[in-house]
Amino acid sequence: MSAPATFGPLAADGGTPVRERFLPVALPSVGEAEKQAVLETLESGWVTTGPKAIELGRRIAEASGAAQGLAVNSCTGALHLALAAWGIGPGDEVITSTWTFASTANVVIHCGAKVVLVDVDPRTKNLDPEKVARAITPRTKAIIAVDFAGQRAERRGGAHGRRVSSSASTFE
Ligand SMILES: Cc1ncc(COP(=O)(O)O)c(C=O)c1O
């Protein structure tokens, strides 16, 4: 890959790095309360499911207004569970974004359904709603929207009568 003439060679090609230190895009916010909660959990004897996992599920339901909440081990696990709960399988199509992490497409394949990748709006990097509308077919059962870098993707899933699941991303 070549760099624009004004910059000289890229660092990967032996040029001078533009930064000395790694620039993190999204640092986790870990304070004393979080450290204390981890210690309490380790000392409680429950390191997998247990009271904290149940409490997290309850709080997710409370915050989202859902009837029930369930804490799982990862976003991938949550997406897979949502598709399975909706009965998505062979013969179904699920739309997701081209600007994402692999698991939003992998979970569709895990369910035996077909992944339909739809391009993003170059401004927001979120799914382009017009392109989503054009990709909908009678086989479309769900849309996995990626809320890129904390921006909520526009939702029109209800209007199309399809299930909509979210996946959040903090990286660029
Ligand atoms: C948009 C998106 N969806 C899903 C995932 C998968 O998350 P997890 O590693 O918790 O399974 C990621 C992880 O980076 C992600 O960025």
We report the CATH number of the domain holding residue 126 as: 3.40.640.10
CB atoms within 10 A of CB 2: 8
Residue 35 Cα to ligand 1 midpoint, Å, equals 23
Which SS3 state, helix, strand or coil, does residue 169 take?
A: strand
Instruction: Return the structure tokens found at 162.
Output: 């399809």
The reply to whether 155 falls in a domain is yes
**126 within ligand 1 shell (Cβ under 6 A):** no
Task: Indicate the pLDDT class of residue 171, thresholds 50, 70 and 90.
Answer: very low
State what percent of residues in the chain have pLDDT above 90.
62
Query: How far, CA to CA in Å, does 125 sit from each of 118, 153, 170, 171?
Result: 11, 9, 12, 11
**pLDDT tens figures, 30-69:** 999 999 999 999 999 998 888 999 999 999 999 989 999 9
Per-residue pLDDT band for 155 (boundaries 50, 70, 90) equals confident
- How far apart (Å, rounded) are the C-alpha atoms in residues 24 and 171? 9
For residue 24, what pLDDT band results from cuts at 50, 70 and 90? confident
pLDDT at residue 3, as a whole number? 55
Question: What is the spatial distance between Cα 129 and Cα 144, in angstroms, rounded to a whole number?
Answer: 12
Output the 3-class SS for 26-91.
CCCCCCHHHHHHHHHHHHHCCCCCCHHHHHHHHHHHHHHCCCCCCCCCCHHHHHHHHHHHCCCCCC
- Of the chain, the percentage scoring pLDDT greater than 70 comes to 90
Report yes or no on 133 lying in a domain: yes
State the Cα–Cα distance between residues 104 and 94, nearest whole angstrom. Answer: 10
Q: How many CB atoms lie within 10 A of CB 106?
A: 14
Q: Tell whether the model's pLDDT for residue 150 goes beyond 50.
A: yes
pTM: 0.80
Residue 144 sits in which domain range?
Answer: 74-169
Instruction: Provide the mean pLDDT of the chain.
Output: 88
Asked whether residue 9 is assigned to any structural domain, the reply reads no
Tell me which of 25, 73, 74, 101 to substitute to probe ligand 1's pocket, judged by most ligand atoms within 8 Å of the beta carbon: 101
**Nearest Cα residue to atom 13 of ligand 1:** 101
Per DSSP, 155 falls in state -
The length of the chain is 172
Does any ligand 1 atom lie closer than 6 A to the CB of residue 76? yes
Q: Residue 10: is its pLDDT beyond 70? A: yes
Is residue 66 domain-shared with residue 96, that is, in the same domain? no
The yes-or-no verdict on residue 4 having pLDDT over 60 is: no
56 shares its domain with 127: no
User: In this structure, are 79 and 102 located in the same domain?
Assistant: yes
Separate counts of helices (H) and strands (E) for the chain: 6, 4
Query: Among residues 75, 136, 134, 137, which one has the least CA distance to residue 104?
Result: 75
Q: How many domains does the chain have?
A: 2
- How much is the pLDDT for 157? 55
Is residue 97 assigned to a domain? yes
Cβ of 157: how many Cβ atoms within 10 Å?
20
Q: Please name the residue that has the structure tokens 């394949």.
A: 109
Q: Are residues 84 and 160 in the same domain?
A: yes
pLDDT of 162 > 90? The answer is no
Residue 117 lies in a domain: yes
